[in-house]
A and B are shown apart, each in its own frame.
Chain A
């Protein structure tokens, strides 16, 4: 079992839809949880970062972490075609390199 599991999709939604992306993890030592966005043939770029359990909102994006169930979520409201990319969840205990999920490929159709 990989330490971070993520459904690779692909996921296709109409413009304006609410998108829900999810990951699970197995390592209880993970304290830091991130979502990266990766456009085709580009490096990942940090979208959201959360420490421990809770919610964090940034514009149209909301990240949620539930440590009791080891579940990580990213919600995108009013999705736009420019949101079409691969979304990678990642986790770290703080003194270890990031462990990534497989990534979910999202297409937002105009």
Chain B
């Protein structure tokens, strides 16, 4: 597709369950970002990949959150033992290059709305 694709669009899960959120970046984009947006707030950075490696994971709130990008394209954000406070929209973005000075536009997906009940 032409844009960043995130699946599922909506996810409702019970407290304590495990969830996986998927992001398909724009083809050829080497940088991939995960953000979390709570109601009435701006996106908050979680983790940034350059290729297959996590270049910066300083935004992950705790060790229940983990993300992978094994082939340098699709990324999966994994949340273990979900809590009600994890409810938010999880946004993925990709850019042609990232880090190493300068700036290139980051294109966002439509997000996955996670609700933990």
Q: Are B105 and A49 in contact (CB under 8 A)?
A: yes
Which residues from B are CB-within-8-Å of A92?
Answer: 103
Chain B: CB-nearest residue to A31: B103
- Least CB distance from A81 to B in Å reads 22
Cα separation A46 to B43 with both chains bound (whole Å): 14
Cα separation A94 to B113 with both chains bound (whole Å): 29
Cα separation A43 to B110 with both chains bound (whole Å): 4
Q: Are A102 and B40 in contact (CB under 8 A)?
A: yes
Size of the chain B interface, CB-CB below 8 angstroms: 27
Q: Are B110 and A42 in contact (CB under 8 A)?
A: yes
Q: Are B102 and A94 in contact (CB under 8 A)?
A: yes
B100 within 8 Å of A by Cβ? yes
Chain A: CB-nearest residue to B100: A95
B25 within 8 Å of A by Cβ? no
Which residues from A are CB-within-8-Å of B111?
Answer: 41-43
Which residues from A are CB-within-8-Å of B99?
Answer: 95-96
Chain A: CB-nearest residue to B46: A97
- The B72-117 residues at the A interface (CB cut-off 8 A) are 91, 93, 99-103, 105-111, 113
- B residues engaging A (CB < 8 A)? 4, 33, 35, 40-45, 48, 56, 59, 91, 93, 99-103, 105-111, 113
| 16 extra A-B contacts, CB within 8 A, seeds A42-B110, A88-B43, A102-B42 | A32-B103, A36-B108, A41-B113, A42-B111, A44-B43, A49-B103, A94-B102, A95-B101, A96-B56, A96-B99, A97-B48, A97-B59, A99-B45, A100-B44, A102-B40, A103-B42
Q: Give the 8 A-B residue pairs with the shortest CB-CB distance, closest first.
A: A43-B108, A100-B42, A32-B103, A97-B45, A95-B99, A43-B110, A102-B42, A100-B43
- A residues engaging B (CB < 8 A)? 4, 6, 8, 31-32, 36, 41-46, 49, 51, 88, 90, 92, 94-103
